[in-house]
Structure 1
Amino acid sequence: MDGKAMGQAGEVARRWSIDIAMLVAIGLLMGFLGPFASERLPFVGRYAYWMICMVGGGLIGVVADDLLRRRMAKTWPRVALVSVLMTPPVSLLVLATEHFLIGGPFGWRSYARLLWQVWPILLAVLVVRTLAWRRLPGRIETRTVIAPPLPEAEAAFRQRLSAKRRGARLIAIEAHDHYLKVHTDAGEELITLRFADALQELARAHGWRVHRSWWVAADAVEGVRWRRGAGEVRLVGGLMTPVSRTYASTLKEAGWF
């Protein structure tokens, strides 16, 4: 199995682990609350009943949702449709669990009654799962190798720095009104210069503008994270800079995500 396949398998295992953990948590909560007169059951039987129903029924809904996602991209209409389609088989699971675990009746009348009880619970579980996945970090982080900058490409800009930092490694430039904060591996320094003029002097240097007030040196980038339309760059020394949607394409073309 190559690295890409192993990565995909790991992501699938991660998603299943999180889904099962969420369903187990919901099952434990339902066992504690004891709705639909289940509080009358013995302690162990009550929790066993809800764990089977919530984990088993929830996994049926999860599989259906994942399969339908390929044909139906819109989230909430798909969740509503899955909850309706999965109610009959999940109700059958609940009916069988009641019959074999606590000796409940196994017939059409009981089945019809369960349909109206199972559907809102199944819908609620799918909604909770969808909201949970939206809040979980969905980040992309990659790394690429950048050639060192040419000395002459930064020469004009470096002349503006103090002797202590003129030969230091350039990490990033941050705009502050009419001043620039220059980040180097020898510390920070404020200089009087417009951001636009600094960008012009560094036009041939290995670096990118990643935000309206940030420029970063390419060889100083250690990682890029992108989430929900915004991102951040991790630079050497632990410095973090924002990435705006406007300049994200530059990093994308460089292979960072």
Structure 2
Amino acid sequence: MSQRVVNRPETGLTGPLAHLAGVLVLAVMFSLGGAYDTDELGLMHRLALWLLVSILLVGQTVVIERLLARILPSRGAFRLVSGTGAALLTLLLVTLELDLLKQTPLLPKARDPFWEFLAFLAPLVLTLSGFILLLRALAGIGPERLAEEAEETVRLIAAQPVIAGLLPAPSPAAGAFGDWPAGRVLSVQANDHYLDVTAESGRVFVRGRMRDAVARLRGEGGVQIHRSWWVALDRIARIEREGRDHVACLVSGERIPVGRSRVRELRGRGLL
């Protein structure tokens, strides 16, 4: 099996340098323009104010969108839901934060009724949040992502004869997945509605769910190390840390993620 890359850091339009650049551009633009009647403040005062506001705006948009993307499925209408939710939550938080700033020397303005203040900020905050999310979405479907999805599509298409023809018809005892390859199972990866099953006799794709696979493999000398991965214990060469996360290095050379909820079980098995 080819080596998979996991926990890939964000780069380009989605990386931290791009976010920092966006913060600086917004801060300088608003400071020099004296936006929202802040031209009466000194230049350095305006710069400090708008730098803080820009950090709140960009940072909260990105963080909230990431959190919602982890909770919601990352496809179809759910992407739109997570983006819209991120923009609306950012608007609410920025309104609260600016309202609190009005009680400090950094923003010496009289406080406004909250909902009127939110409606006043909405055009600016929603426009900028939407632009940030659009750039992140466009970066997420760049050439590298499209190439990965095309490769995955070809792989699934190539597996169709195995699913439809080479495997025997599902038997009642086989459950939802049909018959698996003969021999000991080495690893199982969940991929949408299919399971990528690697055994000593070969590799096939079968339709099924990971929880059913884990139930089927109970007592087979393996462990579910991630919500999408089950691996035979003797296939794990070692487990390494990558920042706050762990990665399992298999004897085949693959590096696959370890779910944080699985760390305690792996530690109990002496793998950590």
**TM-score, structure 1 as length reference:** 0.46
- Whose Rg is larger? 1
**TM-score, structure 2 as length reference:** 0.44
